[in-house]
């Protein structure tokens, strides 16, 4: 692994040709200690890092426009010479405007920047400057062209090669280092050092996927010479980007393939197929399993019977019945004399699971305990002594202090929070239990291939019969009366209603209605109705008693924060009002909505939204209105949030995707995954490809090693 804190390792004299990809940027020509610092802050430490710091967009400066040929309304780039640069103060508002006039041989162009008087110091008369912005006609004179707040770049006579007459790359700048300075630095770095880029992909992979050489791709992605369609470059659809994107996916998937191969070979418990407890439990249920539940359970059973460790992900839409599947899996472990645990991401969710599961297995004579860090009475003795067969808890379960007598199965109920590294930690605890991961809502296929690419995946793609589609509609505050009358109608039919609020207490900053205040207001609007309130800050017992009253029908209306997201199951509830729905995430809204529509009644989800809200919020609400299908919602959620947000790679333990985008580049992802998994199948140790193997280790920063132990 590289060690950038050790200058001795990378120090080279000015005369030494001993440059490698690990050489610290400070030794790059044109980078002194000060610049090196700035670059470090941008995450650039080595020559390799700098070569892989790609532009975020490209600008076509092949033939810069002449001023006279610019058209109002167009986005244009021009090169002009400074005629005047003045600060003007508006008489009334006393706003400072910096006004710049430039000319070329065809005319004049005026530009304005508001409240940035400091800009004046950059512009001397006669200085050449490139301006990029939207062109306006002057509204007062009707003649003359103007730009407001254009991007600008000062232009020196020696700059022709790098900054104009070509497609130029535009880099994310940082304070103290302008896009132009970075461009110059890049130009020189590429010229001097791009030779260090080695192609590590197997020939056949390159051929099959029609990929260009890596060194070429790196150079072209910075300073396109051969491929000059600027819009394709900006879409990442050119040959250089195709190569770089493929490589990122390939190295990611190759690591996942290594992990998967290794995990599947990990010695594990071979449970035997005793069905006594399981059948007793299934017979006690008031329903039959769906075909999808049966199929997934068969897959899990087969995994558990193999003498290897199970590493499986189960996902499916809200209400598809994941809890039952989890429980049956636990019962298999218990029947074989092992303990099983279920780990939830929050204390509240752990409590909900505990209550549900406790109720479901009560008659089987099993001991179920709850362990969270917040609870005083921790059942550690029951766990270490083996008295508790089923343990529900939070991450506290994998802490040092908790010792299981004989853990056979760990179920992780998560929302993209339990990454590769944490899973390895669970194993390093000394247990080697079978592992089953469950997500609350479906995950898009692309995410499954990346975040969970090392797991076996099972999908419950069927809802129990009798679920009616939920009618979802957006309402604005001006339509509150309509909302109340819909609620009243539902109540008069004997149904029950959820009112969901985003926060517990009023936040002054966001001015959100709190659940507490909301309950007060609703009691005035519906004086004859029993209204209950639950939120996260309530004592656990109080919360439970309110929930129980709602379940039994003593309470007609339950006002709640998102604590009801998971676990609560009241078939008679047929309407949900989500207040400030614009504040909720899409997956969360869908998960909430899954609380209704369980009783065979027509159900309604009312999304009360307070404008103004962002475009993304609008898209989320629209998606809720348009579809009830959790799989489609999941795809839309990914499209809105963008892959970066989902990834949280630091936490997931996966290498960064800098240039590839799992939404945009899905085709490349699929091809790269196939190639990577095929390669590991035929050459698991990668000993035929030493360069590739080394690159893989670098990309995963030793994590593949770490996980081996």
Binding stretches for Mg ion (CB under 5 A): 268, 304, 306, 310, 434
Q: Strand pairing of 75-89 and 57-60?
A: unpaired
Which partner, Mg ion, ligand ADP, none, binds residue 670 by CB below 5 to 8 Å per kind?
none
Which partner, Mg ion, ligand ADP, none, binds residue 289 by CB below 5 to 8 Å per kind?
ligand ADP
Shortest Cβ 540–ligand ADP spacing (Å):
20
Which partner, Mg ion, ligand ADP, none, binds residue 56 by CB below 5 to 8 Å per kind?
none
Shortest Cβ 344–ligand ADP spacing (Å):
12
List Cβ neighbours of 486 (8 Å cut-off, separation of 6 or more): 575, 604, 606
Nearer to ligand ADP (CB atom), residue 288 or residue 482: 288
- Count CB-CB contacts under 10 A for residue 182: 24
- Give the three-class secondary structure for 208: helix
Nearer to ligand ADP (CB atom), residue 321 or residue 444: 321
Residue nearest to ligand ADP (CB): 321
Nearer to Mg ion (CB atom), residue 33 or residue 307: 307
Which partner, Mg ion, ligand ADP, none, binds residue 512 by CB below 5 to 8 Å per kind?
none
Shortest Cβ 431–ligand ADP spacing (Å):
25
Shortest Cβ 168–ligand ADP spacing (Å):
51
38, with CB counted inside 10 A (0-12, 13-18, 19+), is middle
List Cβ neighbours of 561 (8 Å cut-off, separation of 6 or more): 500, 501, 502, 503, 504, 515, 534, 535, 536
89, with CB counted inside 10 A (0-12, 13-18, 19+), is exposed
Shortest Cβ 200–ligand ADP spacing (Å):
43
Task: Answer yes or no: are the C-beta atoms of 229 and 238 closer than 8 Å.
Answer: yes
Which partner, ligand ADP, Mg ion, none, binds residue 427 by CB below 5 to 8 Å per kind?
none
Whole-number Å distance between alpha carbons of 41 and 49: 12
Which partner, Mg ion, ligand ADP, none, binds residue 555 by CB below 5 to 8 Å per kind?
none
What's the token pair of residue 182? 């970075």
Nearer to ligand ADP (CB atom), residue 506 or residue 569: 569
H/E segment holding residue 167: strand 167-170
Residue nearest to Mg ion (CB): 268
* Residue position matching structure tokens 């899905």: 666
Residue 308's nearest CA partner among 271, 338, 272, 267 is 267
What's the token pair of residue 126? 């006669």
Task: Answer yes or no: are the C-beta atoms of 563 and 593 closer than 8 Å.
Answer: no
Nearer to Mg ion (CB atom), residue 306 or residue 551: 306
Which partner, Mg ion, ligand ADP, none, binds residue 304 by CB below 5 to 8 Å per kind?
Mg ion
Which partner, ligand ADP, Mg ion, none, binds residue 476 by CB below 5 to 8 Å per kind?
none
Whole-number Å distance between alpha carbons of 380 and 393: 12
Shortest Cβ 418–ligand ADP spacing (Å):
17
Shortest Cβ 569–ligand ADP spacing (Å):
4
Shortest Cβ 270–Mg ion spacing (Å):
6
H/E segment holding residue 333: helix 322-335
H/E segment holding residue 533: strand 531-534
Peptide bond preceding 612: is omega within 30 degrees of 0, i.e. cis? Answer: yes
List Cβ neighbours of 156 (8 Å cut-off, separation of 6 or more): 128
Nearer to Mg ion (CB atom), residue 310 or residue 325: 310
Whole-number Å distance between alpha carbons of 259 and 571: 42
- Tell me 411's DSSP state: E
Which partner, Mg ion, ligand ADP, none, binds residue 321 by CB below 5 to 8 Å per kind?
ligand ADP
Shortest Cβ 422–Mg ion spacing (Å):
20
Whole-number Å distance between alpha carbons of 130 and 109: 12
Nearer to Mg ion (CB atom), residue 434 or residue 490: 434
Which partner, ligand ADP, Mg ion, none, binds residue 319 by CB below 5 to 8 Å per kind?
ligand ADP
Which partner, Mg ion, ligand ADP, none, binds residue 318 by CB below 5 to 8 Å per kind?
ligand ADP
Shortest Cβ 366–ligand ADP spacing (Å):
18
Nearer to ligand ADP (CB atom), residue 322 or residue 693: 322
Which partner, Mg ion, ligand ADP, none, binds residue 680 by CB below 5 to 8 Å per kind?
none
- Count CB-CB contacts under 10 A for residue 538: 16
Nearer to ligand ADP (CB atom), residue 195 or residue 287: 287
List Cβ neighbours of 462 (8 Å cut-off, separation of 6 or more): 290, 291, 292, 293, 320
Shortest Cβ 452–ligand ADP spacing (Å):
17
Task: Answer yes or no: are the C-beta atoms of 134 and 73 closer than 8 Å.
Answer: yes
Residue 300: phi, psi to the nearest 5?
A: -65, -45
Shortest Cβ 579–ligand ADP spacing (Å):
23
Nearer to ligand ADP (CB atom), residue 326 or residue 487: 326
Nearer to ligand ADP (CB atom), residue 332 or residue 463: 463
Which partner, ligand ADP, Mg ion, none, binds residue 324 by CB below 5 to 8 Å per kind?
ligand ADP
The three-point CA angle 142-146-149 to 5° equals 145
Strand partners, 472: 605
Which partner, ligand ADP, Mg ion, none, binds residue 268 by CB below 5 to 8 Å per kind?
Mg ion
Angstrom CA distances, 416 to 509, 646, 649, stand at: 29, 8, 10
Which partner, Mg ion, ligand ADP, none, binds residue 190 by CB below 5 to 8 Å per kind?
none
H/E segment holding residue 332: helix 322-335
Angstrom CA distances, 394 to 330, 373, 648, stand at: 17, 8, 20
Shortest Cβ 290–ligand ADP spacing (Å):
4
Shortest Cβ 386–Mg ion spacing (Å):
20
For the chain, the first-to-last Cα distance in angstroms comes to: 17
Nearer to ligand ADP (CB atom), residue 282 or residue 663: 282
Nearer to ligand ADP (CB atom), residue 405 or residue 467: 467
Shortest Cβ 276–ligand ADP spacing (Å):
21
Residues that bind ligand ADP (CB under 6 A): 287, 289-290, 293, 316, 318-324, 464, 569, 594
Nearer to Mg ion (CB atom), residue 434 or residue 665: 434
Nearer to ligand ADP (CB atom), residue 317 or residue 665: 317
H/E segment holding residue 543: helix 540-552
Whole-number Å distance between alpha carbons of 704 and 686: 13
């Amino acid at each position: 692994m590289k060690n950038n804190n050790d200058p001795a390792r990378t120090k080279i004299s000015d005369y030494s040709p001993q440059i490698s990809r690990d050489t610290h940027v400070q030794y790059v020509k044109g980078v002194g200690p000060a610049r090196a610092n700035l670059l470090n802050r941008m995450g650039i430490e080595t020559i390799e890092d700098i070569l892989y710091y790609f532009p975020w967009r490209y600008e076509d400066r092949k033939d810069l426009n002449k001023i006279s040929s610019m058209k109002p309304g167009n986005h244009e780039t021009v090169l002009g010479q400074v005629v005047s640069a003045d600060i003007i103060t508006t008489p009334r508002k006393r706003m400072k405007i910096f006004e710049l006039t430039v000319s070329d041989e065809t005319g004049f162009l005026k530009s304005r920047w508001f409240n940035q008087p400091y800009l004046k110091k950059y512009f001397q008369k006669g200085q050449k400057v490139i301006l990029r912005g939207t062109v306006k006609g002057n509204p007062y004179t009707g003649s003359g062209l103007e730009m407001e707040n254009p991007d600008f770049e000062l232009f020196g006579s020696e700059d022709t090669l790098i900054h104009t007459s070509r497609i130029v790359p535009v880099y994310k700048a940082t304070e103290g280092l302008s896009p132009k300075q970075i461009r110059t630095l890049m130009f020189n770095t590429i010229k001097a050092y791009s030779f260090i880029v080695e192609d590590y992909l197997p020939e056949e992979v390159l051929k099959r996927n029609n990929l260009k050489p890596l060194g070429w791709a790196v150079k072209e992605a910075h300073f396109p010479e051969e491929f000059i369609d600027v819009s394709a470059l900006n879409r990442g659809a050119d040959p250089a980007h195709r190569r770089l994107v493929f490589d990122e996916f390939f190295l990611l998937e190759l690591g996942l393939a290594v992990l998967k191969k290794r995990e599947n070979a990990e010695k594990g418990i071979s449970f035997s197929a005793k069905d006594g407890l399981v059948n007793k439990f299934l017979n006690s249920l008031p329903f039959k399993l769906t075909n999808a539940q049966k199929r997934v359970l068969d897959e899990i059973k087969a995994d558990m019977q193999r003498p290897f460790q199970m590493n499986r992900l189960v996902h499916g839409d809200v209400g598809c019945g994941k809890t039952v599947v989890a429980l049956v899996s636990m019962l298999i472990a218990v029947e074989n004399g092992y303990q099983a645990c279920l780990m939830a991401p929050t204390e509240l969710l752990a409590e909900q699971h505990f209550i549900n599961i406790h109720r479901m297995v009560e008659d089987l004579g099993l001991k179920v305990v709850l362990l969270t860090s917040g609870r005083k009475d921790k059942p550690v003795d029951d766990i270490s002594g083996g008295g508790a067969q089923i343990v529900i808890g939070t991450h506290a379960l994998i802490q040092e202090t908790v010792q299981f007598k004989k853990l056979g199965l760990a179920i992780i109920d998560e929302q993209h929070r339990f990454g590769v590294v944490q899973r390895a930690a669970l194993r390093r605890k000394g247990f080697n239990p079978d592992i089953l991961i469950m997500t609350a809502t479906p995950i898009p296929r692309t995410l499954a291939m990346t975040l969970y690419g090392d797991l076996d995946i099972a999908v419950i793609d069927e809802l129990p019969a009798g679920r009616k589609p939920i009618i979802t509609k957006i309402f604005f505050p001006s339509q509150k009366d309509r909302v109340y009358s819909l609620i009243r109608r539902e109540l008069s039919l004997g149904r029950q209603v959820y009112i969901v609020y985003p926060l517990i207490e009023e936040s002054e900053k966001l001015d959100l209605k709190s659940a507490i205040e909301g309950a007060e207001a609703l009691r005035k609007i519906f004086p004859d109705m029993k209204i209950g309130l639950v939120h996260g800050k309530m004592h656990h017992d109080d919360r439970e008693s309110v929930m129980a009253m709602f379940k039994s029908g003593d309470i007609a209306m339950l006002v709640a924060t998102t604590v009801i997201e998971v676990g609560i199951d009241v078939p008679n509830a047929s309407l949900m009002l989500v207040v400030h729905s614009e504040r909720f995430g899409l997956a969360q809204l869908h998960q909430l909505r899954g609380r209704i529509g369980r009783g065979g009644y027509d159900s309604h989800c009312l999304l009360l939204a307070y404008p103004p809200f962002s475009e993304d919020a609008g898209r989320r609400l629209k998606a809720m209105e348009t579809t009830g299908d959790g799989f489609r919602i999941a795809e839309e959620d990914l499209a809105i949030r963008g892959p970066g947000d989902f990834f949280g790679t630091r936490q997931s333990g996966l290498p960064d995707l800098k240039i590839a985008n799992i939404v945009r580049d899905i085709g490349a992802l699929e091809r790269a995954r196939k190639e990577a998994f095929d390669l590991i199948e035929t050459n698991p140790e990668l000993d035929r490809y030493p360069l590739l193997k080394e690159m893989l280790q670098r990309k995963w920063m030793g994590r593949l090693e770490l996980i081996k132990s």
